[in-house]
Amino acid sequence: MKRKLLISFGVVASLMTITALALPTILHTAGLHPEFQGEMAGPLPGRRALIITTSHDVLSAPGETTGDQTGVMASELTHPYYSFLQSGLEIDVASIKGGLIPVDPQTLNFVVRTPEDERYMDDAVLQAKVANSIAVADVDFTVYDIVFLSGGWGAAYDLGQSTVLGKKISEAYYSEKKPLIGGVCHGVLGLINAADSEGNLLIAGRKMTGVTDKQIKELGIEVTPLHPETELRKAGARFEANSAFRDVLATHTVVDEEKRFVTGQNQNSGRETAQAMLALLSER
């Protein structure tokens, strides 16, 4: 009897190990971090990109200061970064406060970690940029060809609350260089304070996407102060998104009619959004 129990426990343990090891493949097949199916952008020498992230590192409820560690989602930084790098762009990395960027540790877990994330973990150059990011207030957005806003739960606490970021986005939009402006997931919250030349919200009337209220509810992380779908709709954007059995497995990228703003729905959309921006840049 004892021998049979040991065998049974051994079989169960083996099955659990096999399932755990196969989980990344299962999730990828289901839709998490899909492969880019389009044509990769060619070389764009002499062009510059700015990637902006959160500085917030605690997933806290309103009125509280403690909680799980959070920050930028790794893939929402690494996918655009390496897409831009592959096309030969010079890339600067900034954050709301500057200095060390908090990378959400959960997003580097082997279950959701991507090849780009693993590349980052061995990339001394990008690690240095993450450790010594430029403060948004100290960056001249008007010298860039692409301005990209990365997401992650941390972005819900500071991108949409930054009047400095909103002003910088507005200045970039009206600058002579006319950079492409984009972002994914919670990163799009950085657009909600940008104003046009008449003081109206810059994104009003534009097609846009971001993480859905449905995905936030499904993941059970509703304590964050701002939710992208809700805030984009409040700002007058024409929100659109795809859905799935769980929205964490969906993806969608939107280019507005003016071809100035490119937004991605969630963590699955970083590569596609970056490539869409590069494709538009190559047409100029």
Positive or negative, the CA dihedral 228, 234, 238, 242 is positive
Burial of 26 (0-12, 13-18, 19+ CB in 10 A): exposed
The predicted pLDDT at position 187 comes to: 98
- pLDDT of 16 reads 41
- Give the C-alpha separation, 135 to 232, whole Å: 25
First vs last C-alpha separation in the chain? 75
This prediction's pTM: 0.93
Residue 217 DSSP SS3: helix
For 50-87, write each residue's pLDDT tens digit.
999 999 999 999 889 999 999 999 999 999 999 999 99
Classified by CATH at the fold level, domain 46-282 comes out as Rossmann fold (3.40.50)
For residue 58, the tally of other CB atoms under 10 A from its CB is 16
Residues 189, 14: Cα–Cα separation, whole Å: 44
CA distances from 51 to 136, 182, 217, 236 (A): 10, 10, 28, 25
Q: Which residues of the chain have pLDDT under 50?
A: 1-19
Domain ranges of the chain: 1-30, 46-282
What burial class does residue 244 get, using C-beta atoms within 10 Å of its C-beta: 0-12 exposed, 13-18 middle, 19+ buried?
middle
Q: Is 135 helix (H, G, I), strand (E, B) or coil?
A: strand
CA 157 vs CA 80, 118, 119: distances in Å: 22, 27, 28
pLDDT recorded at residue 21? 57
- Residue 45: DSSP 8-state: T
What's the pLDDT at 147? 98
Give the per-residue pLDDT at 132.
98
Q: Give Cα 202 to chain centroid, integer Å.
A: 21
What pLDDT, on the 0 to 100 scale, is given for residue 4? 44
User: Do 126 and 133 form a contact (C-beta atoms < 8 A)?
Assistant: no
Distance in angstroms (rounded) separating the CA atoms of residues 101 and 195? 27
Helix, strand, coil percentages (3-state) for the chain, rounded to 5, are: 40, 15, 45
Measured in whole angstroms, how far is the alpha carbon of residue 60 from the centre of its chain?
Answer: 20
- The total number of residues shown for the chain amounts to 284
The single residue listed with the structure tokens 């002499």 is: 46
The residue type at 138: D
> What is the Cα–Cα distance from 184 to 99, expressed in whole angstroms?
22
Joined tokens for residue 230? 């809700």
- The pLDDT assigned to 63 comes to 86
* pLDDT confidence of residue 220: 94
pLDDT at 62: 85
Provide the CA 92 distance to its chain's centre, in angstroms: 16
